[in-house]
Amino acid sequence: MDLGALRAEIEAAIAAADSPEALEAVRVGALGRKGRITELVKSLGALPPEERPRLGQAYNELKREIEAAIAARRGELERAALEARLARERTDVTLPARERPQGRIHPVSQVTEEIVAIFADMGFTVAEGPDVEDDWHNFEALNIPPEHPARQMQDTFYLESRDAQGQPLVLRTHTSPVQIRTMRAGKPPFRIIAPGRVYRRDYDMTHTPMFHQVEGLLIDRRTHMGHLKGCLTDFVRAFFERDDIPVRFRPSYFPFTEPSAEMDIGCRRSKDELVVGEGSDWLEILGCGMVHPKVLEAVGLDPEVWQGFAFGMGIDRVAMLKYGIPDLRTFFEGDLRWLEHYGFLPLEVPTTYGGLSR
């Protein structure tokens, strides 16, 4: 048996093995249960005793050499596999990063910020009141007694709970109760706006059961209708970002103001377009008036000393007008594609000096 030739043959097979499986096949062929070296070791038993030590030593040496060669080759193959995998899975970090999904500010939030920015410039602060109101704040103190037809003007959601007077609580039908809360809680003069949610039983293209209003209230010693007109005219021109918007005040009726008016702005209507700020048509945008003496009395103010004006405007409605959104119901569907389209970028905070709607 030429051990040198056998070693050379197995070593060549080891070097030629190009995968872990091929290498394993070589190992089984040499060192496995029926491997060639194993067979040699087994054959020692049949030899004369004096030959066994020398051959036994030579076979063992061959066995160790082959084991070492296989281990070394296995290491090489593993390193090569790792290299190949790293090459395959390489990431090019110089590629442009994928754009991260970015949130949007809802048009209602945007427009609320715009309105607050404009009135803040005129010295108004923001006031708040609860969505669940009692009958007194939502109706009674605003000069709307129980059988008053104005209660039907605003289809009310009544709750099962009742207030201390046994009247059912309501979801506020307008932001006007914040007038009452503000005047009861502080001392005149007052100059506040109160944006917030309001609720009425209504549902179509331009009505949803929950929508948003902003209330305005200014009370001082010598306030008159001219202040109301000037303030609201300045407001709509700032809000629609046009200095030449035609405005008009039309006589109207609200129980809590006297006289009352509705403010219209000029617009142009064509078959499928509405342009605000020019043209010969009119569009109603808010209700307003001088605060009714009975309202002042209800909150303990002397109408001979204090007067003022109030207004209420639909935030969603002016958002639709300013940004050309046709259906109010879509505001509250939570459709991300809609928000992507009509929403505003965060961090672009509306200010009167930086531009409201950039």
Pick the closer one to ligand PHE by CB: 223 or 257: 257
Contact pick of 263, 288, 315, 319 for ligand PHE (by CB under 6 A): 288
| 28 φ, ψ (degrees, to nearest 5) | -65, -40
When asked if residue 310 is in the footprint of ligand PHE (CB under 6 A), the reply is: yes
Q: Looking at beta carbons, which residue is closest to ligand PHE?
A: 312
When asked if residue 35 is in the footprint of ligand PHE (CB under 6 A), the reply is: no
Contact pick of 119, 124, 139, 311 for ligand PHE (by CB under 6 A): 311
| Distance in angstroms (rounded) separating the CA atoms of residues 74 and 8 | 18
DSSP state of 351: B
Q: Is the dihedral of CA 54, 55, 59, 65 positive or negative?
A: positive
- For the stretch 133-137, contacts whose Cβ atoms lie closer than 8 Å and that sit 24 or more positions apart, written own/partner, are 133/169, 133/170, 133/171, 133/172, 133/177, 134/163, 134/165, 134/167, 134/169, 134/170, 135/163, 135/165, 135/167, 135/168, 135/169, 135/170, 136/163, 136/165, 136/167, 137/172, 137/177, 137/180, 137/181
Contact pick of 254, 306, 331, 344 for ligand PHE (by CB under 6 A): 254
Pick the closer one to ligand PHE by CB: 139 or 331: 139
Three-state SS letters, 323-346:
HCCCCHHHHHCCCHHHHHHHCECC
Residue 294 exposure: Cα atoms within 13 Å on the Cβ side: 13
Beta strand pairing call for 273-276 and 257-270:
antiparallel
Per CB under 6 A, which of residues 200..239 are in contact with ligand PHE?
Answer: 215
When asked if residue 289 is in the footprint of ligand PHE (CB under 6 A), the reply is: yes
Nearest approach, Cβ of 264 to ligand PHE (angstroms)? 14
Q: Which region, judged by CB under 6 A, interacts with ligand PHE, from 201-209, 226-234, 266-274, 285-293? A: 285-293
Pick the closer one to ligand PHE by CB: 3 or 122: 122
Nearest approach, Cβ of 287 to ligand PHE (angstroms)? 3
Would you say 157 and 170 are in contact if contact means Cβ atoms under 8 Å apart?
yes
Tell me the C-alpha to C-alpha distance, in Å, between residue 287 and each of 134, 176, 311, 318: 23, 11, 6, 13
Pick the closer one to ligand PHE by CB: 196 or 287: 287
Q: Which region, judged by CB under 6 A, interacts with ligand PHE, from 2-10, 102-110, 133-141, 286-294? A: 286-294
| Distance in angstroms (rounded) separating the CA atoms of residues 265 and 283 | 5
When asked if residue 107 is in the footprint of ligand PHE (CB under 6 A), the reply is: no
Contact pick of 107, 129, 266, 312 for ligand PHE (by CB under 6 A): 312
Pick the closer one to ligand PHE by CB: 105 or 144: 144
DSSP state of 44: G
| Distance in angstroms (rounded) separating the CA atoms of residues 109 and 275 | 23
Nearest approach, Cβ of 117 to ligand PHE (angstroms)? 21
Q: Which region, judged by CB under 6 A, interacts with ligand PHE, from 118-126, 267-275, 304-312, 332-340? A: 304-312
Contact pick of 107, 177, 287, 350 for ligand PHE (by CB under 6 A): 287
Q: Looking at this protein, which amino acid is placed at residue 285? A: I
DSSP state of 95: S
Q: Which region, judged by CB under 6 A, interacts with ligand PHE, from 161-169, 298-306, 309-317, 350-358? A: 309-317
| Interacting residue ranges for ligand PHE, rule: CB under 6 A | 174, 176, 215, 254, 257, 287-289, 310-312
